Structure 1
Amino acid sequence: MLDDLKVKVGPEFYRYHIGAIDFVPDVLTEYTAKNILIVHGTVSWEKAQPKLSFLQDSRYTLSYHQYTGECSYYGADKIVEMVKEKKIDFIIGVGGGKLVDLVGYAAHVANVNFGVIPTLASNCAPWTPLSVMYKESGESEGKTEHYLRQASFFITDPELVIDSPVEYFIAGLADTLAKWYESDSILKQEHLQNEPFLQMASYTSQLCKDAITSNSTKAIADMKKLEVSEEFVHLSEIIFAVSGLVGGLGDKYARNAAAHAMHDAMSKYIAESHHFLHGEKVAYGIFYQLAIEKKWETIDQLLPLYQQLNLPTSLHQMGIFPKDEMILEQIVQFIDSKEKVHLIPVPITKDLLLNSIFELEKYINKI
């Protein structure tokens, strides 16, 4: 029996289909929301507005805030100030992963309800009760967990999501694939085998992996044609909703491990990594975790998919292998400090973490 498991399944209300955004007012009525702050970006905001008919609804007093492009404490403070100044009773975030992370954290600080209208499928940020924080410069600042508050609604339209950069969708597939490879060996440990919520987390992570390995090619091709096919709808739903269930059900045992720890370390200590998407860095992180576990055959099995999706396999391939050994030491120190990494059922040491970086580079270079 676990006494440290926190289950937060997801947003209170979810809809994802053509025309779904028309139901936003129904949820706002449930919360008697009248004075609403819309937090948005730039390009995605322009594309989203034609589908946001509630913006013309006279029942609401609307205020607007364009975020800086980063999910930062500075950006959250700006939103909290607006909430107080304008007496906002509900926040709606329209945009990508960093924006919805920002809105979730700011709503937590301001103690108001919020909803999200994601405009792309690049990660499970709209679903999860945590925010990945960055400085305005793009440097990682860790995570904030606000698991006692989650979105009042998650509503979006595949016609909006499909009209977003394909590379973000591919990065989302990689980020979602990590759900299985980070949690599988942890959840297979004997003392966790009979925990019902962890069993559901495991089943859900396998569902994510199987869907991605089976349908990625078709979904990507359809997205490029702006064709809202069943494969595209299902895989985008897997990325931003179903994958969020893995951590929602399994908490720290299934949320993430070394792959995401490596992502965070790269974002913190390798400035050149900032131009890579979250999911691209996580893709490399998957191989890094497999190197820690010495699962070289699994890397071999994944390589064709990585090559097909043009995902990074090594730091040298990304062109960002640190020349300064001190940076590698900082990365290892950072990864070793994360409890989630020590849940992996191998003896984690700093030597293992460092040697795995070099072993992976050498292994990929030989292929």
Structure 2
Amino acid sequence: MTLQLVSRIAPQEYVSEVCAYNRLASALKDRFIKRVLFLHGTKSMTKAVPFLPDLSEEGIEVVDVLFNGECSNNEIERMIDILKNKQLDAIIGLGGGKVLDTAKAAGYKAGAVPVILLPTMASNCAAWSCLSVLYKDNGECIGHEIYPQQTSLVLVEPRVILDSPVDYFVAGVADTIAKWYESDLLLQQADRKSIALFFSREAARQCLEIPLAHAEKAIQDMKQGKLSEDWVQVMETNIMASGLVGGFGDEYARATAAHAVHDALTIRPETHHLLHGIKVSYGILVELMIEKKYEEMNRLLPFYRALNLPLSLSDLSLSGLSNTEIREIAVSALKPTSLIHMHPMKCTVDTVYDAIIGLEEWARQNSVK
């Protein structure tokens, strides 16, 4: 497979600081933006309101839109219609990953209008990356799209994210460490020398080393509402470092097996209540089982236990699945559009099925007595 290397490194501007939202009005004016679509969730807006400026006082017209819940083609089209019908200059997305991904998709597809993102959680790299993960309206993942348009501005208000649900932060940590495990083999076997790939691998390394060193303390601090250096470092790793991996590395640093397993798990309605990163963390173990990296699995075991990450199907509300049902998950992981086809080991349905079965035995052997 011939891989391409087109680096889409970062948002045009990124600010992470207390009172970051105070920059919003002037940033819009600097971009000649006078009328905006403001897309948000209910809970995220409630958290952010105390820190947000009144844009109307600055002469900026705001069309307020409540997010429907999924980054689906229907929701994206709804945003595009609003942007075009009301002749708006830009779209602001405030919320979690699905809100941000919807804003990015709608902004690009509406004619490359500027996109401004205000993440209220650090559960993934959606605020950084110029791609969207797409879902059906029922929550089933259907893949992702990459855009040639960078986000115009990202404003991170740490106090808002600190006040977000801890379980989303934990899911973000899990999704972040996947960057190392999914990209490492691809980057090791790259058929070209490139400083971009060097930076990509270094970013991926930090996506593992920083959480392993600081995540447990950061989670404790978050539970206590403490804006500590450990927490800020992990929070920005979730958003920035994880986004830099694919930003520099493109197809040499894409998600592979772990995210393919995540996508396959979404065919089971029992998993829809689980956050993206939690399902990805299970996918990491399946990938390591495929690669027969048992020592690395044992290295991660204390970390998984400390963060209460899933080790088995029962931890995903999938206890009692038949072998046929497990094979259906493996088949879904190998669908033609699956990310697993990027994996250098050329996985098959049997490869994934055997890894899931093998992981069940490993989890039993390592269950806490």
Length-normalised TM-score, structure 1: 0.95
- Tell me how far 1:183 sits from its aligned partner: 1.0
* 1:39-58 alignment runs, 5 A limit: 39-58=39-58
Tell me which residue corresponds to 1:64: 64
- Aligned residue for 1:237? 236
Q: Is the 8 A contact 1:322 1:328 kept in 2?
A: no
- 8 Å contact 1:270–1:322 — kept in the other structure? no
In 1, Cα distance between the equivalents of 2:359 and 2:323? Answer: 16
Query: What TM-score, normalized by structure 2, do the two folds share?
Result: 0.94
Structure 1 segment 311-322 matched on structure 2, within 5 A? 311-321=309-319
Structure 2: tracts of 5 or more residues without a match: none
- Once residues 81 and 342 of structure 1 are traced to their aligned partners in structure 2, the CA distance between those partners, rounded to angstroms, is 35
SS of match in other structure, 1:57: helix
Opposite residue 121 of structure 2, the aligned amino acid is L
| Residue aligned with 2:106, SS | helix
- State the 1:235 CA deviation: 0.8
> Are 2:36 and 2:88, in contact at CA under 8 Å, matched by a contact in 1?
yes
How far apart, in 2, do the equivalents of 1:280 and 1:159 lie? 24
What residue number does 1:284 align with?
Answer: 282
Q: In 2, distance between residues paired with 1:6 and 1:357?
A: 34
**What is the CA deviation profile of residues 66-100 of structure 1, one whole-angstrom value per residue up to 9, with x for unaligned ones?**
01111111111111111122111111111111100
Q: Is the 8 A contact 1:97 1:122 kept in 2?
A: yes
Q: Over residues 312-364 of structure 1, what are the superposed CA-to-partner deviations in whole Å (9 max), with x where a residue is unaligned? A: 11113323157354543343233223564244332422221221111111111
CA–CA distance in 2 between the matches of 1:3 and 1:95? 33
Query: What residue is the counterpart of 1:362 in the other structure?
Result: 361
Q: 1:271 aligns with which of 269, 272, 275?
A: 269
Residue number in structure 1 paired with 2:297: 299
- Kept in 2: contact 1:39–1:103 (CA 8 A): yes
Where do 1:315-354 residues align within 5 Å? 315-321=313-319, 323-336=321-334, 337-338=336-337, 340-354=339-353
Q: Which secondary structure state, in structure 1, belongs to the residue aligned with residue 7 of structure 2?
A: coil
Whether the 8 Å contact between 1:284 and 1:312 is mirrored in structure 2 is yes
Question: Could you tell which deviates more after superposition, 28-37 or 172-181?
Answer: 28-37
Equivalent residue for 1:140?
141
SS in 2 for 1:69: coil
Q: How many residues align?
A: 363
- The alignment partner of 1:283 has SS state of helix
Match of 1:29 in 2: 29
**SS of aligned partner of 1:320:** coil
Give the CA deviation at 1:262: 0.5
- Counterpart-to-counterpart distance in 2, 1:167 and 1:133: 22
- 1:170 paired to 2:174: no
Counterpart AA for 1:318: L
Q: Does 1:187 align with 2:187?
A: yes
Deviates more, 1:250-259 or 1:345-354: 345-354
Structure 2 distance, partners of 1:322, 1:333, is 18
Q: Structure 1 residues 292, 68: closer, same or farther in 2, change over 3 A? A: same
The AA in structure 2 aligned to 1:163 is D
CA–CA distance in structure 2, aligned partners of residues 322 and 32 of structure 1: 57
State the one-letter code of the partner of 2:224.
Answer: K
| Inter-CA distance 190–279: structure 2 relative to 1 (3 Å threshold) | closer
Amino acid at match of 1:69: G
In 2, the alpha carbon distance for the partners of 1:165 and 1:72 equals 24
Deviates more, 1:25-34 or 1:345-354: 345-354
CA distance in 2, matches of 1:82, 1:97: 21
Corresponding residue for residue 77 of structure 1: 77
Kindly report which structure 2 residues correspond to 1:57-136, keeping only aligned pairs within 5 A, or say none.
57-111=57-111, 112-136=113-137
Q: 1:190 to 1:3 in 2, by over 3 A?
A: closer
SS at match of 1:62: strand
> 1-side partners of 2:360 and 2:141: how far apart?
24
Q: Which moved more, 1:326-335 or 1:74-83?
A: 326-335
Report if the CA contact (8 A) 1:138-1:274 is conserved.
yes
Q: Which amino acid aligns with 2:4?
A: D
Distance 1:339 1:78 in 2: 27
* Unaligned residue ranges in structure 1 (runs of 5+): none
**Paired amino acid for 1:270:** R
**Which runs of structure 1 show a deviation greater than 6 angstroms over 4 or more consecutive aligned residues?**
none
Distance 1:341 1:224, change over 3 A: same
Contact 1:316 1:361 in 2 (8 A): no
1:206 CA displacement = 0.6
Aligned to 1:202: 201
Contact 2:125 2:239 in 1 (8 A): yes
Distance 2:60 2:346 in 1: 56
Aligned residues of 2:214 and 2:234 also touching (Cα < 8 A): yes
Query: Please, which moves more after superposition, 234-243 or 282-291?
Result: 234-243
